[in-house]
């Protein structure tokens, strides 16, 4: 079974699964931003954690590793 993951944010730095291949790729018209307020697995309702997200921006591109 083939399963591709576009890794950005903490997934790149703290990978929790094994992989067979790592390839550098990019996504057109998206940029990486640290503006997602997260309370489900990081942070709390009173103090949400800032996490990495992809934001749709025409002409932008996000480069990262694909596993």
pLDDT tens-digit profile of 20-63? 887 877 889 988 887 667 777 778 888 888 777 788 999 998 87
Q: Are 28 and 56 in contact (CB under 8 A)?
A: no
> In whole angstroms, what is the distance from residue 23 CA to residue 48 CA?
32
Reading the block at residue 54, the tokens are 């992809």
Residue 11: predicted pLDDT: 58
Residue 13 reports pLDDT greater than 70:
no
Check residue 9 and give its pLDDT: 57
pLDDT band at 67 (very low <50, low <70, confident <90, very high): very low
Q: What pLDDT is attached to residue 42?
A: 75
């Amino acid at each position: 079974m083939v399963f591709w993951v576009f890794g950005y944010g903490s997934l790149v730095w703290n990978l929790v699964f094994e992989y067979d291949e790592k390839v550098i790729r990019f996504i057109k018209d998206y940029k990486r931003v640290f503006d997602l307020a997260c309370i489900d697995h990081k942070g709390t309702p009173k103090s949400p954690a800032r996490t990495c997200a992809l934001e749709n921006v025409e002409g932008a591109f996000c480069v990262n590793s694909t596993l």
